[in-house]
Structure formats: C-alpha cells, structure tokens
Copies of this chain bind each other. A is one copy, B any other.
Amino acid sequence: MCEKFNCCTEKRLRECFGHAGGRLTGPRRAMVDFFHMEKGHFTAEEVFEKLSEKYPGIGVATVYRTLSAMADFGILKRFDFGKGKVKYELSDGHEGVRHHHHLVCSACGKILEYDDFMDEEKAFFNKIKKTLSTRYNFLIKGHSLHFYGFCQKCQKEYEKAK
C-alpha cells in the first residue's frame, strides 16, 4: 500500500499518526493512498464520499481525524478559501507536487494552480521573512498566498452583474 510511495514510508506514517505508537490502520492507509493517487484539493466531505467507494464503511469522524493528523504532521496542506469548508491537498515535496499557489474563483469556487515565478517568489519571500522574523519577533513557519477573482466561465456573468 503506502510502501508504494517512497515519499511516505511506513516509518514516516507511523510518526505521523500518534506520537507514541501510532497504528497503521486500514482507514489511515486508505486515506494516504487516496491523496497519493487522486491529485487535487478536497474537502472532508469529498474525501469521505470518494473514499467510500473504495473503502466502504469508513466513518466521517475518521476522515476528519485523519485529515487533521496528516495536515498537522505536514503530509497534507490545509486551505481555507473562506467558503465555509476546509480543503486539503498533498503538500509540497511529495512526488510530482511542486510548490505552487492558487487562483480562486469567487463565483464558482474553482481552483487553478500555478507554479510560475517560484524562483523569484522564493527570493522575495526569503528576504521578507528574514526581516519580519527579527523585526516582529515572529517565528515564521510558512506562508499562504492566493489570488482571487473570476475564472473564464464566470467572467461574463460578473461583467453583467456589475
């Protein structure tokens, strides 16, 4: 199962789940597999529904719990685009996942990814981080950036409404 993904070894997964003796259960393996196979951004509800097909009987609570654990540990990245539902995606560093940001449609909620300008961004943000850390006595662990607006499909409606 998870051994297929050398980005998430069994050892790493055991660390992830429970700081003292986390068990590698069926539901947890299924969740890990899900995010390694299906690329994209999912709400807890979506994970529950899609996963139920392959893993019937899984409970909603387990999905929420496992998502939290994986996000806290760093395997998943948590997003909150302000639509009431939190979304998760495989974090940077996994096979085939590069650091990227999102274009979020305010109308239909569609999410586009981009990874252009990442070198320039890195240079800029590193400089910022260094200064802010010392100036505000703040230990920076990460950043969140996204652009919001309207996707191609929703632009016409927006122009009409305005």
Contact = CB atoms under 8 A, between A and B. Distances in A.
Instruction: Specify which of A127, A129, A149, A158 lies most central, judged by the most chain B CB atoms within 10 Å of its CB.
Output: A149
Interface stretch (A25-33, A39-47, A58-66, A74-82): A74-82
Contact of A138 (B78, B138, B152): B152
Interface residues of A, number: 40
A82 to B, nearest CB: 4
A138 B112 contact: yes
Nearest to A150: B139
Interface of A: 78, 80-82, 86, 103, 105-106, 112, 114, 116-117, 120-121, 124, 127-129, 131-132, 135-152, 155, 158
